């Protein structure tokens, strides 16, 4: 079997997302790009995550053509492929419909930076890509364009997409966007919310890229 370790990791990540309530039912999809082959391992369409085996994860190329696997790949395969094509630094992608981030996306509003980790991990405010129907190449292109060089983007009336240089980082980014979406909503209700300046966002991003975590 091709890329067994990566296929197992996808299942682990999907189950974690379910446990952490980042996705209702199976509404979300997860992928890893293998550094050696360039192939992408992605969740199959509409299968219960707790029943997945490594062979259910589909291996596709950068164009989305199936290399190995008997299942139908996620309907958002092009969303993943086109994001990888635009971002040579990305090796893991999580697309979720987490509640608070999706609420912001349904208002077409970007999430401003009021918590430092959003600047540090995502790179600034989380923008909202304009609406396009799910599962289309139009959506894939709009999202890939709007994420720019940041690590997450909202998808209007739909959900969010987070990327990373591996799937664990992409997952952490998806988690942090959901937390920021929640905190910001509460802060707005309290009133008098203070945002972090662009200049400070840049400094926080630099600090995170250079110094955070174990070396």
- Binding residues (CB under 5 A) for Zn ion: these are 159
Tokens of 53: 């085996």
By the 8 A CB rule, do 52 and 41 touch? no
Residue nearest to Zn ion (CB): 159
Nearest approach in angstroms of CB 94 to Zn ion is 11
Q: Which is nearer to Zn ion, 29 or 119 (CB)?
A: 29
Nearest approach in angstroms of CB 158 to Zn ion is 6
Query: Exposed e or buried b for every residue in 117-147, given b needs 16+ CB within 10 A?
Result: bbbbbbbbbbbbbebbeeeeeebbbbbbebb
Q: Which is nearer to Zn ion, 157 or 208 (CB)?
A: 157
Could you please report the per-residue DSSP string of 7-48? HHHHHHHHHHHHHTTSSSTT--EEEEE-TTT--EEEPBTT--
Nearest approach in angstroms of CB 28 to Zn ion is 6
Q: What are phi and psi of 154, to 5 degrees?
A: -85, 155
Catalytic site residue 55?
Answer: no
- Active-site position among 12, 76, 178, 200: 76
Q: Which is nearer to Zn ion, 44 or 54 (CB)?
A: 44
Catalytic residue positions, numbered: 76
């Amino acid at each position: 079997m091709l890329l067994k370790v990566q296929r197992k990791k996808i299942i682990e990540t999907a189950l974690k997302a379910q446990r952490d309530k980042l996705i209702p039912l199976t509404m979300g999809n997860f992928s890893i790009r293998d550094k050696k082959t360039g192939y992408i391992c992605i969740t199959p369409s509409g299968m219960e995550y707790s029943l997945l085996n490594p062979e259910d994860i589909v291996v596709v190329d950068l164009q989305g053509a199936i290399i190995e696997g008997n299942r139908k790949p996620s309907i958002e395969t092009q969303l993943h492929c086109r994001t990888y094509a635009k971002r040579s630094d990305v090796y893991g992608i999580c697309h979720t419909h987490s509640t608070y981030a999706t609420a912001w996306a349904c208002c077409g509003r970007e999430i401003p930076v009021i918590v430092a980790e959003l600047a540090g991990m995502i790179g600034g405010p989380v923008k909202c890509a304009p609406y396009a129907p799910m599962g289309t190449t139009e959506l894939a292109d709009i999202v890939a364009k709007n994420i720019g060089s940041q690590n997450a983007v909202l998808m209007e009336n739909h959900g969010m997409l987070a990327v990373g240089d591996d799937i664990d980082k992409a997952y952490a980014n998806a988690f942090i966007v959901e937390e920021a979406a929640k905190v910001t909503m509460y802060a707005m209700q309290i009133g008098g919310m203070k945002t972090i300046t662009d200049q400070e966002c840049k400094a926080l991003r630099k600090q995170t890229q250079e110094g955070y975590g174990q070396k």
